[in-house]
């Protein structure tokens, strides 16, 4: 009996998913540490430059997430089918390919960093700062992609707590080095970039060392002769397509937000949106962590043909997401003033703008958890195209359309409220997809 086999009641779900949720929350927190230090120690221009260049880097790093999400679903399904040898060959092959692809892309991106920064909307001094920050982070991009790829496999291996510990190690590395380089040495944006790059190295090499170690007694193992299975590569990429498309879409949307905000408000608008993204990362990571963990359980039961357990997992997940959505939304509304002061309290005008934007933008958390789960549900069922459709339309169709059109009707508030309208449209589509494929999968 594997670690993820058997029935999952609410208690077991919370116990099993807790480490994954905590891992993603820690990851989200340490990923915004740079923003806090840069904003408070280097100023709003450096803060805006960081927020301008980060979406471009994040789009590339999403390849690691695609491999991790899609590959772990395929590996879990293969374990469920009773073929551990093939499962481990696929795992080994995917990790190797991720690092190779990351190294090639990293070299190209460093060469073209300046035109990329300009294309993303950087102007004046922001261009120079964005190139510095982006180049340093890109140098560590292959290892960061490994970190993202490894995260779902901790759940497949039945050791989600190791993923949490890895994230904590990354977070502590980033926080300590930010304090030393930015606050202590006064290196500004450069110090923050070095600190983050160092945390990438920690996050990628720790899981690599674990899975290669003789102490690894889990079902997920590296093998020496994995070969190159293009069918498995294709299936993994197809499974993880929604996560890849979703991440790319999210960052493309971020770029469009920045361009719109530069047009309507200027640098302060980009800074305020950066705070929205940080707060969204923290609370959205709860849903991301849950989906990463539960997907492995869903995929295993799908591979084992356990339709009754699939129905149970769907029902219980919707209940838990509903409760969490209400609690998150209430928390953000109450904490908006404090969160605004935390990041941009040095500028009263910017602080007021950020607080107002948070109140409007974060209403979306009443709905977004259900839409995110729909995409993860179909990824776990190894139906990448449907998962990608759910993710693609939610962002690149609904949200992009809203962020371009609503400002013409509602002004600045149209930008902040675009996500709310988009999530409502996406929820209708999500419900239609889940209900429409009910007979096919028997849930």
pLDDT confidence of 3, banded at 50, 70, 90?
low
Instruction: In whole angstroms, give the CA distance from residue 344 to residue 358.
Output: 13
CB 106 within 8 A of CB 138: yes
Would you state the structure tokens that stand for residue 351, as one six-digit string? 């602080």
pTM > 0.85: no
Of the ranges 138-147, 210-219, 390-399, the best mean pLDDT one: 138-147
pLDDT digits (tens, 9 = 90+) for 360-371: 999 999 999 999
Instruction: In whole angstroms, give the CA distance from residue 302 to residue 77.
Output: 7
Instruction: In whole angstroms, give the CA distance from residue 343 to residue 318.
Output: 33
pLDDT at residue 2 tops 90: no
pLDDT confidence of 142, banded at 50, 70, 90?
very high
Least confident of 99-108, 240-249, 270-279, 326-335: 240-249
Chain centroid offset of residue 404 CA: 24
pLDDT digits (tens, 9 = 90+) for 32-78: 777 889 888 988 888 888 888 988 888 888 889 889 888 988 998 89
Q: List Cα–Cα distances, 264 to 5, 190, 357, in angstroms.
A: 53, 29, 14
pLDDT digits (tens, 9 = 90+) for 378-417: 988 989 889 888 988 998 899 999 999 999 999 999 999 9
How buried is residue 243: exposed, middle or buried, by Cβ count under 10 Å (0-12/13-18/19+)? Answer: buried
Chain centroid offset of residue 24 CA: 8
pLDDT confidence of 30, banded at 50, 70, 90?
low
pLDDT confidence of 225, banded at 50, 70, 90?
confident
SS3 for 195-238 is HHHHHHHHHHHHHHHHHHCCCCCCCCCCCCCCCCCHHHHHHHHH
- What local confidence, expressed as pLDDT, does residue 115 receive? 94
Three-state secondary structure call for residue 345: coil
Mean pLDDT across 155-171: 85
Q: List Cα–Cα distances, 228 to 107, 192, 364, in angstroms.
A: 24, 38, 42
């Amino acid at each position: 009996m594997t670690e993820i086999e058997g029935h999952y009641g609410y208690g077991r779900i919370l116990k099993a998913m807790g480490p994954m949720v905590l891992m993603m929350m820690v990851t989200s927190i340490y990923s915004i540490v740079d923003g806090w230090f840069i904003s408070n120690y280097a100023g709003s221009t450096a803060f805006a430059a960081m927020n301008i260049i980060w979406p471009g880097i994040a789009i590339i790093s999403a390849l690691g997430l695609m491999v991790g999400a899609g590959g772990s679903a395929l590996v879990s399904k293969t374990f469920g089918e009773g073929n551990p040898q093939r499962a481990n060959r696929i795992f080994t092959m995917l990790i190797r390919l991720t690092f190779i692809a990351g190294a090639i892309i990293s070299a190209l991106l460093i060469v073209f960093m300046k035109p990329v920064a300009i294309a993303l909307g950087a102007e004046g001094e922001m261009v120079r700062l964005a190139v510095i920050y982006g180049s340093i982070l890109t140098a560590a991009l292959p290892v960061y992609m490994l970190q993202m790829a490894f995260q779902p496999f901790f759940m497949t291996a039945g050791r989600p707590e190791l993923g949490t510990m890895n994230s904590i190690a990354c977070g502590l590395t980033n926080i300590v080095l930010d304090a030393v380089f930015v606050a202590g040495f006064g290196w500004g944006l450069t110090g923050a970039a070095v600190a983050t790059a160092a945390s990438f190295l920690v996050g990628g090499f720790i899981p690599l060392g674990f899975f290669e170690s003789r102490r690894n007694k889990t079902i997920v193992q590296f093998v020496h002769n994995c070969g190159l299975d293009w069918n498995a590569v294709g299936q993994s990429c197809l499974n993880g397509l929604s996560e890849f498309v979703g991440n790319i879409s999210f960052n493309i949307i971020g770029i469009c937000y920045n361009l719109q905000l530069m047009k309507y408000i200027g640098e302060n608008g980009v800074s305020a949106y950066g705070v929205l993204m940080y707060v969204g990362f923290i609370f959205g990571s709860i849903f991301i962590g849950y989906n990463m963990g539960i997907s492995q359980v869903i995929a295993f039961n799908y591979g084992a043909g356990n339709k009754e357990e699939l129905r149970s997992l769907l029902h219980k997940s919707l209940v838990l997401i509903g409760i969490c959505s209400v609690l998150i939304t209430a928390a953000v509304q109450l904490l908006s003033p404090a969160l605004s002061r935390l990041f941009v309290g040095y500028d009263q005008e910017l602080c007021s703008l950020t607080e107002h934007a948070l109140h409007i933008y974060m209403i979306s958390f009443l709905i977004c958890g259900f839409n995110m789960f729909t995409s993860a549900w179909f990824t776990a069922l190894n139906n990448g195209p449907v998962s990608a459709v759910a993710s693609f339309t939610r962002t690149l169709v609904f949200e992009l359309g809203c962020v371009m059109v609503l400002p013409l009707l509602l002004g600045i508030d149209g930008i902040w409220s675009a996500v709310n309208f988009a999530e409502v449209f996406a929820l209708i589509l999500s419900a239609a997809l889940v209900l429409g494929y009910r007979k096919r999968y028997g849930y």
